[in-house]
Amino acid sequence: MTDDIHTPVLLERCIELLGPALAKPGAVFVDATLGMGGHSAGVLERFPDVVLVGLDRDPEALAIAGARLERFGDRVHLVHTVYDGIRDALDGLGFDRIDGVLFDLGVSSLQLDRVERGFSYSKDAPLDMRMDGTSELTAEVVLATYSEADLRRIFRDYGEEKLAARYARRIVEERASAPIVRSGQLVDILQKATPVAVQRQGHPAKRVFQALRIEVNQELAVLERAIPAAIDALDVGGRIVVESYQSLEDRIVKRELQTRSRSSAPAGLPVELPEHRPQLKLLIRGAELADDDEKAANPRATPVRLRAAERVRRGS
């Protein structure tokens, strides 16, 4: 059973934050990162009038979630799309406005737990890392075809890796003699390129694997489009809740929520015109972290950063 292998992160807190927006009859809720449907099941159980639009780029996740949510009947609409396709998905279903939207970012439990997907540096597997198995770009292709400069850039920008230049150079050297096709190969290359003192500070592959995953799935570029699109779809009184797991994601979310929660009036304007008033009201000061009980019950909650806001004005 999926319930046995997947515990949604901060489920009760997400429901608490979304609740005031979803309590009205016929409220529309978008789970932009459906995964195996844990958060969505919780919302549908708690709010019997809510209609769900569940988005996911992973066909396997959609199939699992579909089976899990089947008991909710025609209240459930699942769409195979990346989450920056939220507007097209809503238009296709005939929904103009929504009342709540949740993003649970990063790699899903399903993807981490399927060794053959290649997301984990702790298990040897093909270097795939696609969240959508129907897309073409894989981690193996990135490692085989990207220039040393491009590898250095993604390790530095997406993995915040201090040894990005060293790792990129070593990978280019190694691929000249043999293709790098498995995660175990890559881990071995990275370990040999890492000074012993640095290895004591953490696994040398962690940041490189994160960077490759982000590049393969274009996660940050997608997120930069998706958050504004989700906010634009919210009705007044609607709420957005976002769970991020690393600083690059959280920075994008923070910037958009803060920008929309401030007045856009030029400095010195004597009267604030209605079109300059904030579109959002922040529901959490800064980013909220999981407490010790949540971390103990669900270790995947350890790095989470939770942000939430309410739509208070339509955009201009």
How many structural domains are present in the chain? 2
- 143 and 197 co-located in one domain: yes
Which DSSP symbol is given to 265?
P
Model pLDDT for residues 193-229, shown as the tens digit of each residue: 999 888 777 788 999 999 999 999 999 999 999 999 9
- 230 and 131 co-located in one domain: no
Model pLDDT for residues 76-88, shown as the tens digit of each residue: 999 999 999 999 9
What is the domain-level CATH number for residue 285? 3.40.50.150
- 7 and 106 co-located in one domain: yes
- 48 and 129 co-located in one domain: no
Model pLDDT for residues 3-36, shown as the tens digit of each residue: 445 689 999 999 999 999 999 999 999 999 999 9
What is the domain-level CATH number for residue 136? 1.10.150.170
Decide if 34 contacts 78 (C-beta within 8 A).
yes
Region 261-280: what's the mean pLDDT? Answer: 75
- 235 and 297 co-located in one domain: yes
Q: Is residue 168 part of a domain?
A: yes
- 84 and 169 co-located in one domain: no
Who wins on pLDDT, 224 or 111? 224
Q: What percent of the chain has pLDDT over 90?
A: 81
Query: Which band of pLDDT confidence, cut at 50, 70 and 90, is reported for residue 114?
Result: confident
> Burial of 39 by CB count in 10 Å (0-12 exposed, 13-18 middle, 19+ buried)?
buried
Q: Give the domain extent around 201.
A: 118-217
- 8 and 92 co-located in one domain: yes
pLDDT at 109: 67
Decide if 56 contacts 226 (C-beta within 8 A).
no
Terminus-to-terminus CA distance in the chain, angstroms?
A: 46
* Domain end residue (candidates: 217, 252, 281): 217
Q: Is residue 293 part of a domain?
A: yes
Decide if 54 contacts 69 (C-beta within 8 A).
yes
- 27 and 51 co-located in one domain: yes
Residue 289: pLDDT above 80?
yes
Model pLDDT for residues 123-174, shown as the tens digit of each residue: 899 999 999 888 899 999 999 999 999 999 999 999 999 999 999 999 999 9
Mean pLDDT rounded to a whole number for the chain: 92
Strands (E) located in 177-277: 234-244
Could you tell me the two tokens for 298?
């669900």
Say how far apart CA 258 and CA 309 lie, in whole Å.
Answer: 9
- 129 and 203 co-located in one domain: yes
* Domain end residue (candidates: 160, 191, 217): 217
pLDDT at 276: 67
* Domain end residue (candidates: 164, 187, 217): 217
- 137 and 261 co-located in one domain: no
Region 42-71: what's the mean pLDDT? Answer: 96
Query: Which band of pLDDT confidence, cut at 50, 70 and 90, is reported for residue 257?
Result: very high
Beta bridge partners of 288: 306
Q: Is residue 316 part of a domain?
A: no
Tally the residues of the chain: 316
Residue 274: pLDDT above 80?
no
- 302 and 246 co-located in one domain: yes
